Structure 1
Amino acid sequence: MNASLPRMASRRSPGPEERGRAAEQTRERILAAAVREFGAKGYAGARTAGIAARAGVNQQLISYYFGGKQGLLDELRRRWQESQAGRVPEGASLAESVGAHLDATLDNPDWARLVVWQALGDCPFADAEDGRRQAESRRAELAAAVDNARRRQEDGELRAGLDPRFALLAAYAIVFAPITMPQFVRDILDGDPLSPEIRELLRTQLVALLTEDQGGPAR
């Protein structure tokens, strides 16, 4: 009688390579969910339960893979820095540089919101030494950006009369405006802050503001 019953197929256990791929996919889902959660709520407001729910995983996996919320934030910081390396090609014009910064910011609004939260002091560092290194790195990066603006001005690319430091600050403010002030951008420019049309308007007008000679500095 048993011989007439269909034979059940034996379940094959996944091999090491398959388990590795599954683990990596889980890690990536958790990181993607963390970007959204941190971007929406900041570090202080985010909860690992919320991140796990967004990722569709058991909350314990966050501790297993990243050691908790701080470990997630540290990994996201590392990835953001990697993604920004080489963002602007060597020898790029001012217009190309502005376009690259706009693309990097508005293509990744959750990442950009995380940067804003960090600028507001909401995203803590693993320890005081790490915070000091990050602060020194940021200051060095911004000092290099100011030097680059000065060189552009000496070459006649940046409008004469502008303080290069102010030019850089104005550029950051406008590039991040669709993230930091979406309602203002929507109401003033009458469009979706993240739309291609608004992005192009910001690019062309920012370049015009920084490059067109209007008779020297404003009085």
Structure 2
Amino acid sequence: MTMTSPRSEARTARGRTPSRGERQVDGERTRAALLDAALDEFTAKGFAGARVRDIATRAGVSKDLVAYHFGGKDGLYLAVQEAWLRREDTFSDPDLPLTELVARYLRDALTDPRPLRLLLWRGLTDPDHAPPDADPEAEDLTATRARQQHGELPDDIEPAMLRLLLLAAVAAPVAFPDTTVRLFGTSLDDPSFEERYLQGLRGLLAHLSSAAATSAQ
């Protein structure tokens, strides 16, 4: 059922006024539906191409609720980014071995590639028309430098280059799905693909670790 205004959230199917707890649950469901719909629209069309009306229609609510819950399109985009950062916190642990950390990022990207596609869209957008950024600070390379010091990564390669290399390796199947399918001869949905790709990533990381050990001698 499509809701027509913020006030409609305060109505139940029988028309009675719901309790405060019911209103809170209803509002949370609406926010969740809008966030999921926005992620679909932003990853399909980019920030500039996505329309608030289409997001609301996909979520099954009035477009007025986008402004009510998020303040508008910019606020909704920021909320989508913040939701991804919270999701990342559930599986990203800097204390994990690098092979396991990279494996977790790959599994997440293959399970739901939308956040990574959102990042790719951002890279394709004219900087003068870039969407808002929930995390505008420069990338923190402290963890990468620590792995260099501990011998997991070679210390004769710039940390920024190593970080970009690992990001590209994880993102490649999502960024180039058709090419990946042609190269590996299997669908990205095939469970065997994930294991084959992980095996390749582990081999790459083993070479980097070996190079780190050699440079330390």
Percent identity between the two aligned chains: 32
For 1:36, give the aligned amino acid. Answer: D
Question: 1:173 and 1:181, CA in 2 relative to 1: closer, same or farther beyond 3 A?
Answer: same
Q: Does the C-alpha gap of structure 1 residues 151 and 53 become closer, same or farther in structure 2, counting only changes over 3 Å?
A: same
Retained in 2: the 8 A contact 1:94–1:207? no
Q: Which amino acid aligns with 2:176?
A: M
What number of residue pairs does the alignment pair up?
196
Q: Matches of 2:53 and 2:15 in 1, distance apart?
A: 32
**TM-score scaled to structure 2, two decimals?**
0.77
Residues 159, 211 of structure 1: 8 Å contact kept: no
Partner Cα separation in structure 1 for residue 16 and residue 90 of structure 2: 45
Counterpart AA for 2:58: R
Is the 8 Å Cα contact of residues 158 and 211 (structure 1) preserved in structure 2? no
- What is residue 135 of structure 1 aligned with on the other side? 136
1:135 to partner: Cα distance: 3.3
- TM (norm. structure 1) is 0.77
Question: C-alpha separation between the residues in 2 aligned to 1:14 and 1:86?
Answer: 33
Task: Identify the residue that residue 150 of structure 1 maps to in structure 2.
Answer: 148
Equivalent position of 2:206 in the other structure: 211
Q: Is the 8 A contact 1:145 1:168 kept in 2?
A: no
Which residue does 2:71 correspond to in 1? 67
Larger-gyration structure (1/2): 1
Do the aligned partners of residues 59 and 87 (structure 1) sit closer, same or farther apart at CA in structure 2, a change above 3 Å counting? same
Secondary structure at the counterpart of residue 135 of structure 1: coil
Structure 1, 157-166 or 111-120: larger mean CA deviation: 157-166
Per-residue CA deviations over 1:20-79 (Å, capped at 9, x if unaligned) read 211211111011100010011110110111111111111111112112111101111222
Which residue number in structure 2 is paired with residue 85 of structure 1?
A: 89
1:200 and 1:112 map into 2 onto residues whose CA distance is 20
Match of 2:178 among 178, 183, 192: 183
Farther off after superposition, 94-103 or 193-202: 193-202
Deviations 1:61-105, CA, capped at 9 Å, x for gaps:
111211211110111122222222363335311211111111232
- CA-atom RMSD in angstroms: 2.8
- 1:81-120 matches, within 5 Å, as 81-85=85-89, 87-120=91-124
Q: Any stretches of 5+ residues in structure 2 without a counterpart?
A: 1-13
Q: 1:164 Cα deviation (Å)?
A: 4.9
Q: Within 2, Cα distance between the matches of 1:103 and 1:151?
A: 27
Query: Match of 2:136, SS?
Result: helix
Select which of 22, 27, 35 maps to 2:26.
22
Structure 1 residue 165 displacement after superposition: 4.3
Q: Matched residues in 1 for 2:190 and 2:163: separation?
A: 24
Distance between the aligned counterparts of 1:176 and 1:140, measured in 2? 17
Q: Which runs of 5+ in 1 are unaligned?
A: 1-9, 126-130
The CA distance in 2 between the partners of 1:176 and 1:145, in whole Å, is 20
What is the CA distance between 1:12 and its match in structure 2?
4.0
